[in-house]
Amino acid sequence: MAARGSSERSSEWVRALPDVVAALNDEVTRLTGKKPKDAIKASAVAHKPSAPASRPVGLEEPLLPSNVLVRYLYASGELEGGRRRATDPV
């Protein structure tokens, strides 16, 4: 059996891609409990966290709405220089 060239494999993948995307869109996802094709049509989709919380969350702790922007507060002297970024863990 002769080895196929990469262009033959690529064109085969391009032909199969619509079927692959249709199959993925028709499967219920673990985080939302909905099929992506149904979730796309919804105005909002509730989801489960992808990872468990690394700290205990109290029942009375207020939750921020998902559309709220939050700024990172620097410790004094942290903003002036060095190699730290806002995304670095404290």
Sign of the alpha-carbon dihedral angle for 23, 28, 29, 34: positive
What is the count of structural domains for the chain?
Answer: 1
Q: What is the pLDDT of residues 15-66, one digit of tens each?
A: 999 999 999 999 999 889 999 999 989 888 888 877 777 666 666 777 778 8
Whether residue 74 lies inside any domain: the answer is no
pTM above 0.75, yes or no: no
Q: Are 36 and 25 in contact (CB under 8 A)?
A: yes
> Residue 56 falls within a domain, yes or no?
no
Residue 47 contacts residue 39 (beta carbons within 8 Å): no
Residue 18's domain comprises 6-41
Report yes or no on 32 lying in a domain: yes
Q: Residue 16: inside a domain, yes or no?
A: yes
